[in-house]
A and B are shown apart, each in its own frame.
Chain A
């Protein structure tokens, strides 16, 4: 008996970011409206494997997940010589836009989780017209810090162990044990200082308070979904953020935490399916309107 082969395919693409070529790893599955998925800080695109394997979604969406440089199978760029890694708002924004451009994606949907959710808000502020819809999971304009990120990168504390242990409590207690362990495994495998460097964007550079009111959901619909067990980006953080944005859709997801797509894919599907359905309906009606 031959083994089951999952439908997604992984490839590398050369992407020019800030005038330097980066070799970016991505996986994709399906045909249709491009849906670009952004992983959380300190992890990689494997978090999206269940969405990538969803045969029903793949009938109408081209689902794509890429690893940020320094993450997963995307190496640091050739110019890197060991200096401290720090993700900035400008660099993250440029990376997402450059990746979409390199794949020649026409008005993609971008769905990001955690730092990916934060950058989605920045895309909505500054580049809304480039996207069909934006989905922020565990997203807020700002959230209160609950630990000192210096613990994430020091020689006398194992980086993989402490990164995984710090985020372990953000997973809902109802999530399946195997999915919980798989989610944490990616954190154990991150490069030294990478999680900490991602959080530079999250904690220091990417504070969007006072800017999200510029989001025009008439130009690009915005959906925000947050797990009730996320005590880092709490439901209250997301709701406060949404309150400043006219027309944003907010959903609080039960029995989910900070990693909905990987910690409990089945439960997450119950919430993301209607969102994708609404975007699909909106895209279809827009297209019909164009041809009328």
Chain B
């Protein structure tokens, strides 16, 4: 179909690039996420030592705990990971989960630390990063796991082979709360 050559406004075309840093308003927002009353309900948290940012992490931990059930509702995603058996460490930087994956399903998710449990790779991000990653339209530079590592809001460590060989699987599994907004405390 023929379309006219309508230029967009100069305001849209010549906008100055945004400052990408997290601002104060965001930090207040994520602190408010803590007011969800989950500490009494989540048995995993009972083993946690309170830390300065435990409040921020609590909301993220709650959302993470729901990922295995969300994954079970997505057979196509499980199929994508059908050859994957892996022990990994995923979650907030200071409070990650040990995650056991068998045939693309998460068969165990336990908050670290677990005495002498091994893992092959670790992907941990700040609470702010996870909350932004799970938005329907994350802000520019926060929409991808490797965008988060590039901006140093996330750390990728260990033997990266299972992560890289199943990269889209991990991106999609860790984005499941984005698709199920009810899983994300807001």
Say how far B170's CB is from chain A's closest CB, in angstroms: 9
- Taking a contact as CB atoms closer than 8 A, the residue among A166, A172, A229, A277 that contacts B7 in the complex is A277
| Cα distance A82–B175 in the bound complex, in angstroms | 39
Segment touching A, from B32-40, B109-117, B136-144: B136-144
B150 touches A162 (CB 8 A): no
Closest B residue to A250 using CB positions: B14
Let me know if A139 is at the binding interface, CB within 8 A.
Answer: no
Query: Shortest CB–CB separation between residue A232 and chain B, in angstroms?
Result: 9
Residue from the list A161, A168, A173 in contact with B138, Cβ < 8 A = A173
The contact string, 1 if C-beta is below 8 Å from chain B, for chain A 140-175, is: 000010110001000011100110111011101110
Complex contacts, A269 vs chain B, CB 8 Å: 3
Interface residues in B105-136 by Cβ distance below 8 A to A read: 136
Q: A144-B150, A229-B143 are in contact. Are A277 and B5 (CB under 8 A)?
A: yes
B7: nearest residue on chain A (CB-CB)? A274
Do most interface residues of chain B lie in helix, strand or loop, or is the interface mixed?
Answer: loop
Supposing A55-B2, A146-B149, A273-B5 touch, asked if A251 and B144 sit within 8 A by C-beta, the answer is no
In whole angstroms, what is the CA distance A254 to B139 when docked?
11
Chain A nearest CB, measured from B44 CB (Å) = 29
Residue in B8, B160, B165 whose beta carbon sits within 8 Å of that of A274 in the complex: B8
Question: Can you name the residue of chain B whose Cβ is closest to the Cβ of A255?
Answer: B137
Report if B12 contacts A (CB, 8 A). Answer: yes
Assess whether A169 is in contact with B164, with CB atoms less than 8 Å apart. no
- Residue numbers in A under 8 Å from B136 (CB-CB): 173
Task: Say yes or no: is A84 at the interface (Cβ < 8 Å to chain B).
Answer: no
**9 further interface pairs, Cβ-Cβ under 8 Å (given A229-B143, A239-B17):** A156-B161, A156-B165, A162-B167, A165-B168, A169-B147, A173-B137, A251-B14, A253-B13, A273-B5
Binding site for A on B (CB under 8 A): 1-8, 12-18, 136-138, 140-141, 143-147, 149-151, 160-161, 164-165, 167-168, 171
Provide a sorted-by-A list of 8 A–B residue pairs whose CB atoms are within 8 angstroms: A56-B4, A56-B5, A157-B164, A157-B165, A173-B138, A174-B137, A254-B15, A270-B8
Interface residues of A (CB under 8 A from B): 54-56, 144, 146-147, 151, 156-158, 161-162, 164-166, 168-170, 172-174, 228-229, 231, 234-236, 239, 250-254, 269-271, 273-274, 276-277
